[in-house]
Chains A and B, each alone.
Chain A
Amino acid sequence: MTAATDVLAPSTLRRGASRTGAKIALDMAFSVVLFVGTIVGVIALATLIWTILDNGWARLIADPAVFLTSYVSRFPARAGIKAALVGSAYLMVLTALFCFPIGVGAAVYLEEFAPRNRVTNFVEANVANLAGVPSVVYGLLGLGIFVRFLQMGPSLLAGALTLAVMSLPVIIVAAREAIRAVPQSIRLGAYALGATKWQTVRRQVLPAAMPGTLTGTILALSRAIGETAPLLVIGLPIVIFSIPNDLRDPVSALPLLIFDWTSRPQPAFAEAAAAASVVLLALLLAMNAVAIFLRNRYTIRW
């Protein structure tokens, strides 16, 4: 009788009955658009990896030992990544040594000990801003302070300090999140037994937060290893025929080498750059796998 009963009549409750043809078409079109939009990113990644492998795999496979253990050369066929690879490894270890303790220390202080006042807020805001500073600017910082003012020259020490300063905000954020994830009930239980704040932090909170902190640190380091700009700006060499023995020695790095080879016109160098990229990506993959393994195996499920 009325429009209402029409609407409620069984026949109009059929699925899609109120959806006009136009509406359905729009819904489907939207779904397609969404899918395409999402898949483009995936395809781009796949294409990228394919491009690298296509260009570099042959070069890498042809003589991996030579590639990995030779120094650079004018002749692309003879060029190797030894100095760069070893340099990157040294840089990574040294960077970790600098930024892990300081980053975790800062995180512990901000989460557990800092009073809620203007100074603390300022420090926190500062850390957040530092995380967004472009890597070239960190390079300029390294150049101005470590290389020139402190006269370290373009050395392993200067490079590691620059990368460490760049990674610091990231580690602080990761460590803070891990510490925050520890439930308050654990701290209360420790205090109630007569433990001091530091005893509680050192013996209960930090150990419980360690898996998450380590995961975040490894991820931060893997980003640092892929960075070229800061090392370029502080003047680390690309052509170098030795491995550093001393903190003051110059050192090269894998991304620097890739940049150099990419910039050369000869196609053979493009292949070499791609091969070096394969090595770099493999290194990153290994680090990320370790980080994910740590997270899955050791994270406490409260």
Chain B
Amino acid sequence: MPEGRTHVKEDEERHETRIADALKARPVEDRAAVAAETVFRLDDVHVYYSRFLALRGVTLDVGKNEITAFIGPSGCGKSTLIRCLNRMNDLIPGARVEGKVEYHDQDLYGDGVDPVEVRRRIGMVFQKPNPFPKSIYENVAFGPRVIGMKPSSMDDLVEQSLRAAAVWDEVKDKLKQNALALSGGQQQRLCIARAIAVSPDVILMDEPCSALDPVSTARIEDLMDELKREYTIVIVTHNMQQAARVSDRTAFFTAEAAEGTGDRTGLLVEYDRTDAIFTHPSDKRTEDYITGRFG
């Protein structure tokens, strides 16, 4: 066999070993999980930005208290899709969603639906940590205050949220300090605490660890595992190993060029339980991606 190919094959094998290790590292019970209650049901969803079709024909559902991962190369609509789930796409002028997005059997885009109420229940953590330029305490307390939660003790609520985000010990002595002074990983966990404080039903995470170092990333991955007991989590990630490590189900997306124009439209290729996707994917494109042949 020619030199180059040998190396490729070795890389592939190393790659597959890494994925396998990641799968094995998961707690045992997840691997045998039964189909859970459905939180989101998407049916033939298309997303347009003005004339441009960003994403087409997505049909999948998201299970309760599971971690669902969207993976795939850049530009294939993963972030676009996750933003549809809490109607953050509404904020982009020209954005349009077609098809059905159901949240607990309610049409997310139906008449009379209030995007503000949607976002109360479906929170989001962003790629780059974006704490408010206020104290740590105020960051966590902001959400409950604006949605009209009247907790018997705001101090307790702040503490609980910070504990649940595994950052309490690091900040308990400096709650009045400006949040911008924290490290990147701490800021991101603060953002998670902030999202938790409003008692959401779902937490969406758009590449939450891509701006962080490996240690912070690992801490947040551990956190996700705990969080899914209370919340349903959907995560977009570029990091396949991360998806293999933490998620219960994985959706693989890719992009295809539209005829004529150079625009690329995203589409869902395959969606299955994570171990299935990574050990025996049904689509060749999925296989190419996870074995590192492209993307």
Measured CB to CB, the residues of A under 8 A from B are 116, 183, 185-186, 188-196, 199, 203-204, 208, 300, 302
Q: Report the 7 A-B pairs with minimum CB-CB distance, sorted nearest first.
A: A194-B120, A192-B124, A185-B130, A193-B143, A195-B146, A189-B130, A194-B119
Q: Is the CB of B195 within 8 A of A192?
A: yes
Q: Does any Cβ of A come within 8 Å of B147's Cβ?
A: yes
**What is the interface of chain B mostly: helix, strand, loop, or mixed?**
helix
Q: Is the CB of B119 within 8 A of A188?
A: no
Of the listed stretches B13-21, B85-93, B252-260, name the one at the interface; the rest are far from the partner chain.
Answer: B85-93
Closest partner residue, chain B, to A193 (CB atom) = B143
Nearest CB of A to B150, in Å: 15
Closest partner residue, chain B, to A192 (CB atom) = B124
Assuming the A-B contacts A186-B130, A188-B130, A300-B133, are A193 and B88 also in contact, with contact meaning beta carbons closer than 8 angstroms in the complex? no
Nearest CB of A to B116, in Å: 5
Q: Is the CB of A195 within 8 A of B116?
A: yes
Residues of A within 8 A of B121 (CB): 194
Q: How far does the alpha carbon of A208 sit from the alpha carbon of B133 in the complex, in Å?
A: 7
Q: How far does the alpha carbon of A232 sit from the alpha carbon of B119 in the complex, in Å?
A: 56
Across the interface, A116 reaches (CB within 8 A) one of B86, B93, B195, namely B93
Residues of B within 8 A of A203 (CB): 142, 146
Nearest CB of A to B178, in Å: 9
Interface size on B, residues (CB 8 A): 26
Residues of A within 8 A of B117 (CB): 194
Q: Would you mind naming 7 contact pairs between A and B with Cβ atoms under 8 Å apart?
A: A186-B130, A186-B133, A188-B126, A189-B130, A192-B195, A194-B116, A194-B120
Q: Does any Cβ of A come within 8 Å of B238's Cβ?
A: no
Q: Does any Cβ of A come within 8 Å of B81's Cβ?
A: no
Q: How far does the alpha carbon of A196 sit from the alpha carbon of B195 in the complex, in Å?
A: 15
**What is the interface of chain A mostly: helix, strand, loop, or mixed?**
helix
Q: Is the CB of B88 within 8 A of A188?
A: yes
Q: Does any Cβ of A come within 8 Å of B77's Cβ?
A: no
Assuming the A-B contacts A195-B143, A199-B146, are A189 and B116 also in contact, with contact meaning beta carbons closer than 8 angstroms in the complex? no
Across the interface, A189 reaches (CB within 8 A) one of B91, B126, B180, namely B126
Interface positions, chain B 65-113, Cβ under 8 Å from A, are: 86, 88, 91, 93
Closest partner residue, chain B, to A200 (CB atom) = B146
Q: Is the CB of A191 within 8 A of B88?
A: yes
Q: Is the CB of B123 within 8 A of A192?
A: yes
Residue in A183, A189, A195, A204 whose Cβ sees the most chain B Cβ within 10 Å: A189
Residues of A within 8 A of B147 (CB): 193-195
Q: How far does the alpha carbon of A203 sit from the alpha carbon of B147 in the complex, in Å?
A: 13
Assuming the A-B contacts A186-B130, A186-B132, A300-B133, are A193 and B142 also in contact, with contact meaning beta carbons closer than 8 angstroms in the complex? yes
Q: How far does the alpha carbon of A117 sit from the alpha carbon of B147 in the complex, in Å?
A: 31
Nearest CB of A to B45, in Å: 20
